[in-house]
Structure 1
Amino acid sequence: MSEGADADAVEEPPKGWVRASLSDVASVRLGRQRSPKDHEGESMRPYMRAANVGWEGLQLDDVKHMNFSDEEAEKYRLHVGDIVLNEASGSPNEVGKPALWNGEIDNCCFQNTLIRVRCEAGEPRFFLHLLRFEAMRGSFGRSARGVGVRHLGAAALAQWPISLPPAPEQRRIADALEARLARVDKLVSALDRTRQRLAAIRRAILLDLVPDCDAWPADWEATTTAGAGEVELGRARHPDWHDGPEMHPYLRVANVFEDRIDTSDVMEMDFSGIFDRYRLEPGDILLNEGQSPHLVGRPAMYRGNPPNVAFTNSLLRFRASPNVLPEWALLVFRRHLHAGRFMREVRITTSIAHLSAKRLKSVEFPVPPLDQQKRLLALAERCFSTVDEAERRADRAATHIAVLRRALLADAFAGRLVPQDPADEPSEKLLKRVRAQREAAEAERKAARRAARKATAGKRKPPQGDANSAAPPPPRTPTDAAVTGEQTALFLEFSS
């Protein structure tokens, strides 16, 4: 059994259920590998890849095509009721994420970033929810192998242990789950709308406290970011600096969120002779230099944790002048982020948007008198404290919803969601029927192959009495056998 199975997956199944592997009731296949030579051809067909599989189902707004021969298309074509799962991901929490194929696109195939599960008996919706449950609770991610990109593998998935209910109960479980999960999804949608309203309120507060430049009060100094402080790009990373005599922690774009620095994953590299140049001081503002376009310039203040830390060139550092409070600078940059001001300065390379130090320096920056900066910051703190508390409540609600969803799924696959029916055919009989069907299909394939070989051999055999047919070879002698390496039986007589 797979190492990915959790302790709660091995509790005793209910009466009528049976322990099995996924391959006992479904065929499991890895998709077809992509190759540059298949980008064009006479048999271009649509195919699914990992990017098309989301937690809420299939995402079909960006479907790619590649060349499949007729034989390949037959092998990799998706059928209604097939389940496709992410075979690999850089995030363990995304490994094994599944979706159900309902024939949305004709003659669609799948690529090797996906694994296909085709149920041979039972209810595909039941297996979809079962596999989603395993992915959501991280079982697939823990079982996956690899550094950087984690791979589940079709062989590991085929041997995944399951508790199999009778087929009628599978349908009852799927129906009950979908009814209950629909209500949970409504809660999620309501929570999403609440978050959107809170984000709109936060944006409105920022735009009200720091208006557009044509609405700045007359006593505010109108300058640029360069006029309000110093801007510097962080140090580039290099494999040669992974070890060295002056190892120091550094922050990168993955650590910097809006008004928050995440210190759960801080890396180190060698800063021999140059650490002082890139050392952060409390009050420094860090902005994302490279990100997706709407997140470029996302700012946070360094407040001294972790200590003695530097920053890389995925970040820009702003160090305020004496007449600019660091908190005010953070407020201005947050305003520019939400107003889309930084997006007007970005340049996109290989799908990553960049905000260079030069372009950041030219962005407008208001500098009110210090007493007004303090007053506006106090007002911002009061306004944001209400929004922050509402967001904390939304986070707690999201946690409760996630717990509720997982509890529903756990009850479903432990046999506690719907009652068992003694009249249902036991799962053991279902497995026997699948085995019998597979054996019959295999026997039929073998018979077809034998017939094909016989037909081919018949075509090769020359007609009897054909003058052009080859004469039979002469009898082999021991000398001949020695040349060819064959063994020859020698008949010896022994006198008594």
Structure 2
Amino acid sequence: MSVESDDGAVGAPEIAAVELPASWCWAELDDLRSADERPVTDGPFGSNLATRHYTDSGPRVLRLQNIGDGEFRDVRTHISKSHFERLAAHEAREGDLVIASLGDDLPRACIVPEYVGPAIVKADCIRFRAHPEVSTEWLLQALIAPATKQHAAASLRGIGRARLGLNGIRSLPVPVPPAAEQRRIADALDERLARLGEITQLIAHARSYVTTLRKKVLLDAIPESAAWPEGWQAMTAGQAGIVDLGRARHPDWHDGPKMRPYLRVANVFEDRIDTTSLMEMDFSEGFGKYRLLPGDILLNEGQSPHLVGRPAMYKGIPEGVAFTNSLLRFRAGDEVLPGWALLVFRRHLHAGRFMREVRITTNIAHLSASRLKAVEFPVPTLDEQRRLIAETKGRLARVDALDLLLDKMEAHANALRRTLLAEAFAGRLVPQDPHDEPAEHLLKRIRVERETAEAERKAARRAAAQARRKSQSAAEQPASKASPPPAPTSRTPLSEGEQTTLPLEFTE
């Protein structure tokens, strides 16, 4: 929250942790908007933009999926031209900022590129049109800088997905340099972030290679069923072990005398269980049925299609844990080692085998217990299982080491990006020029221009309203009555031979 002094200058918000250069000052994002009639807006809600309005072509609808952290993602959604014209108040043009007000890592923002053409923003997307004297490129980086995200994180609300909201976006604190320095910062950041972007792309390509390598290791260990070695038994998952669905969650079990922790889909990753965020429910009844034992394999029952069936082994830590119906549990039979079951399921995940069994509801893929039971499951001898587990584990460890190295490289690149942005918006990335107009003067000029434009719009609206009232009053005025013709007088001379006719009155 910024503080305005008696002379109208905006002071530093309470969260400011850096001392700004003398020519800089703090402002709220809303202070930097243009003098247009509607420079800030969110998208239409409810029936104003419903499923029936979407088309295969036409003007674009910019959604949360389009807003990256500093980049525009070209995900295409369209509406009809006629409906676009009805929603013109929500239009986003080339050069506008589009800011996500819902989701993770807020605020996320991007600039609308030229090729988008006619477009509107959808709900939970804020369109912000900056004043022409404010560098949009600089403002974009200021919005996604660490200090801004830190402030936003303290202002989030909502259950489930975090929300910042229109007012939260408008009140975001921004350290404002002089206009000329804004351009210098934007140019310097553009050059440095482009190099970081190249590194990020290389890391992404390397990750793709590692994923391919991991898949090859798993497929080499367990080939397709037609190529199973002689001596391997052909079973199904239901024959090789016991498959169960976890316990459904219910409001009645949020509290109770026997609260116990449980694992859900958010805890189960490939070959890893994250126990840092466990939830609990009351198990006054039925805990034994859902209690996990060391060696149990958990698979995601509901996930995005390419992650459904993602498996991990429960190794007994923490003890006394159950599982919910967002997970499936496989408990190996006597002829199957738990490590072998994990290997088989990881192989099926990377080979896309589970994707052939899923059913999709509301964008979530589901792998039912009955469908998992029917999936093929090879069973070599126990000695062969041990050998393949050890051999494959060693090969996967080398792949995992590459993945870990890429994690470190990515973390280093992200840290470098955060440091770069922090330096830029503390005034330490480019030198200050004493001849630059101070930012305080810029903000005052923007405010005066905006107030003048608003006063002119109000005056125009008043004049239009008066003209309408005057026109309406004139239309409602009754027509004036015509004057009767004058009565003849006795002094009017008569023509020769003309006789006067006198009116007669008859009385009863």
Q: TM-score range by the shorter chain?
A: 0.7 to 0.9
Match of 2:418 among 383, 406, 411: 406
* TM-score when normalising by structure 1: 0.87
Structure 1 match to 2:331 = 319
Structure 1 match to 2:382 = 370
1:356 aligns with 2:363: no
Structure 1 match to 2:207 = 195
* TM-score when normalising by structure 2: 0.85
Distance 1:49 1:311 in 2: 35
CA separation of 1:69/1:102 partners in 2, compared to 1, >3 Å: closer, same or farther? Answer: closer
Q: Is the 8 A contact 2:65 2:75 kept in 1?
A: no
1:160 aligns with 2:167: no
61-70 or 151-160, which deviates more: 61-70
Q: Structure 1, residues 75-113: CA drift from partner, whole Å, max 9, x if none?
A: 221132211111122x3x2x2210101343333111231
Whose Rg is larger?
2
Structure 1 match to 2:292 = 280
Distance 2:224 2:178 in 1: 65
Match of 1:186 among 198, 210, 232: 198
Aligned residue-pair number: 464
Q: How do residues 286-297 of structure 1 correspond to structure 2 at under 5 angstroms? A: 286-297=298-309
Query: Structure 2: which amino acid aligns with 1:198?
Result: V
Q: Structure 1, residues 22-59: CA drift from partner, whole Å, max 9, x if none?
A: 22222563313322354357998532222221225222
443-452 or 42-51, which deviates more: 42-51
Distance 2:224 2:181 in 1: 62
Structure 2 match to 1:467 = 480
Q: Which runs of 5+ in 1 are unaligned?
A: 469-496
Q: Is the 8 A contact 1:232 1:316 kept in 2?
A: yes
CA separation of 1:390/1:45 partners in 2, compared to 1, >3 Å: closer, same or farther? Answer: closer
1:265 aligns with 2:277: yes
Q: Is the 8 A contact 2:43 2:126 kept in 1?
A: no
Distance 2:139 2:28 in 1: 12
Q: Which runs of 5+ in 2 are unaligned?
A: 4-11, 482-508
Query: Structure 1: which amino acid aligns with 2:30?
Result: S
Query: Structure 2: which amino acid aligns with 1:113?
Result: D
Match of 1:110 among 107, 121, 126: 121
Q: Is the 8 A contact 2:69 2:109 kept in 1?
A: yes
Q: Displacement of 1:131 after TM fit? A: 0.6
Structure 2 match to 1:29 = 40
Structure 1 match to 2:64 = 50
CA separation of 1:273/1:2 partners in 2, compared to 1, >3 Å: closer, same or farther? Answer: farther
Instruction: Please state whether the residue corresponding to 2:144 is helix, strand or coil.
Output: helix
Distance 1:22 1:80 in 2: 19
Instruction: Please state whether the residue corresponding to 1:287 is helix, strand or coil.
Output: strand
Structure 1 match to 2:313 = 301
Structure 2 match to 1:20 = 27
Q: CA RMSD in A?
A: 2.6
Q: Structure 1, residues 289-312: CA drift from partner, whole Å, max 9, x if none?
A: 111111111110000112101111
Instruction: Please state whether the residue corresponding to 1:231 is helix, strand or coil.
Output: strand
Q: Is the 8 A contact 2:70 2:144 kept in 1?
A: no
Instruction: Please state whether the residue corresponding to 2:261 is helix, strand or coil.
Output: strand
Q: Structure 1, residues 346-377: CA drift from partner, whole Å, max 9, x if none?
A: 12222221111111111111111111111111
Q: Structure 1, residues 166-201: CA drift from partner, whole Å, max 9, x if none?
A: 111111110110100011111111111111111111
Q: Displacement of 1:21 after TM fit? A: 1.9
Distance 1:221 1:374 in 2: 16
